[in-house]
């Protein structure tokens, strides 16, 4: 668990990362890199049904890996850490949950298909008439969460079986937030292997990180420590603390390496040139369609919680968190001349119903898949550190080409490890 106030967490993570990466880079300049290990991180943002967007991107990446290494290749075979928040946390657990043969149970395409089949039941639409939906949702959210969460809980338990964190086929990192202690809780495979009480069911972790305020009720569960004492968790969506878990993942893996506890503790040093980080967003609305000061100046409590079918206060917190992380991670990799080792794929021009986290109609889900496909053909973009706006990067091609380059690097690294 982290300190109580999240306002101190992000700056502290940034300072820690800067110190770790600067120290590592200094060591690397004087050490012979006889161990060319590359540490790979996959990070997936929260965003409800918009998880279809990163799932579409991951399906493409897995296809490229299968072209290189055969049809059995899975995303979790290539990433040392898969971090996810909210819908990204559900995806992370699905990608890393083992089958009976201890191989990944689901492919990236399975994850994408999960949304098309189950999202309409997780986010049931009361009526096909938009106005009736909005009225029903408004009154529903005034007296309780928009959805009861029953189907989310049942399907999470079904697909994740009875597996726990320590059983994942690769390391996972999933943030949630404990409303009783007012503290973020970061679930990790490393911690689950070290402490019995942190070895929660993957289904509990997935449900907890997805329990978005106003949409789903909080999730309560218990674990026990080695002495049998009960540990209680009262959790909501990890997006209130780290909707983009990239920074959390990088800091965690580097901290473990530096203190000699990580599985790569035999490495002499690590820096941005020896990390591959793929960070996938779930899209943000077109800027011209966001809220404005004139209309918000008349809002009261209810308007901030519910406006036109969405929750402005939750949207603002989650989007701001994601954007700040991207800005800081971009700065870290740029300072170490390793910008190409950090690939952020994010759509910043969602329109119509696509910005919604819970519009699980067939039409909107098809539109979200189309957004993901178009992202693949879009040029590689990075956040402009002055404006905060994504700008096309000249000379780096499309996202599909960048992902193909990542696939080659990931495949080479896996083969190198297998040859040892």
> Catalytic positions, please?
86, 237
Residue 346, token pair as written in the block:
């994010």
CA–CA gap between residue 59 and residue 56 (Å, rounded): 5
User: Nearest to residue 251, comparing CAs of 8, 12, 76?
Assistant: 12
List of E strands, 195-328? 219-224, 230-237, 275-280
Query: Quick one: CA dihedral 301, 302, 303, 304, positive or negative?
Result: positive
What residues are paired with 392 via a beta bridge?
381
Please state the φ and ψ torsions of residue 183, each to the nearest 5 degrees.
Answer: -135, 140
Tell me the three state secondary structure of residue 414: helix
- For 135-274, where are the E strands, in sequence order? 171-178, 183-188, 219-224, 230-237
Contact between 177 and 237 under an 8 Å Cβ cutoff? The reply is yes
> Which ranges of 311-387 does DSSP label H, i.e. alpha helix?
312-335, 362-377
Alpha helical stretches, state H, 31-84: 52-69
Whether the CA torsion 53, 210, 91, 393 is positive or negative: it is positive
């Amino acid at each position: 668990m982290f300190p109580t106030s999240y306002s101190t967490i992000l700056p502290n993570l940034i300072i820690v990362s800067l110190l770790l990466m600067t120290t590592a880079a200094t060591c690397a300049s004087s050490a012979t890199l006889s161990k060319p290990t590359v540490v790979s991180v996959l990070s997936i943002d929260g965003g409800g049904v918009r998880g279809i967007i990163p799932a579409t991107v991951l399906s493409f990446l897995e296809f490229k890996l299968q072209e290189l290494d055969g049809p059995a290749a899975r995303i979790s075979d290539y990433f040392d850490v898969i971090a996810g928040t909210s819908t990204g946390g559900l995806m992370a657990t699905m990608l890393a949950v083992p089958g009976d043969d201890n191989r990944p149970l689901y492919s990236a395409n399975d994850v994408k298909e999960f949304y098309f089949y189950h999202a309409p039941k997780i986010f049931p639409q009361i009526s096909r008439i938009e106005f009736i939906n909005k009225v029903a949702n408004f009154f529903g959210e005034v007296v309780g969460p928009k959805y009861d969460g029953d189907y989310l809980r049942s399907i999470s338990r079904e697909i994740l079986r009875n597996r726990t964190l320590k059983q994942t086929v690769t390391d996972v990192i999933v943030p949630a937030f404990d409303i009783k202690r007012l503290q973020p809780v970061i679930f990790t495979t490393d911690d689950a292997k070290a402490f019995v009480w942190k070895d929660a069911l993957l289904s509990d972790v997935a449900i907890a990180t997805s329990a978005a305020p106003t949409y789903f009720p909080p999730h309560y569960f218990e674990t026990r420590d080695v002495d049998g004492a009960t540990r209680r968790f009262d959790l909501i969506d990890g997006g209130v603390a780290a909707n983009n878990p990239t920074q959390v993942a990088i800091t965690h893996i580097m901290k473990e390496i530096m203190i000699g506890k990580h599985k790569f503790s035999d490495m002499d040093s690590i820096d941005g040139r020896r990390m591959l980080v793929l960070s996938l967003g779930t899209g943000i609305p077109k800027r011209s369609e966001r809220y404005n000061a004139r209309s918000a100046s008349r809002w009261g409590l209810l308007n901030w919680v519910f406006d036109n079918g969405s929750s402005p206060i939750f949207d603002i917190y989650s989007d701001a968190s994601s954007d700040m992380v991207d800005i800081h991670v971009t700065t870290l990799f740029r300072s170490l001349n390793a910008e190409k080792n950090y690939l952020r794929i994010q759509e910043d021009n969602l329109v119509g119903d696509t910005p919604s986290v819970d519009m699980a109609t067939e039409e909107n889900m098809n539109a979200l898949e189309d957004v993901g496909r178009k992202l693949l053909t879009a040029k590689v973009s990075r956040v402009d550190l002055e404006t905060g706006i994504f700008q096309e990067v000249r000379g780096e091609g499309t996202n599909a080409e960048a992902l193909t380059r990542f696939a080659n690097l990931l495949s080479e690294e896996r083969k190198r490890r297998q040859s040892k």
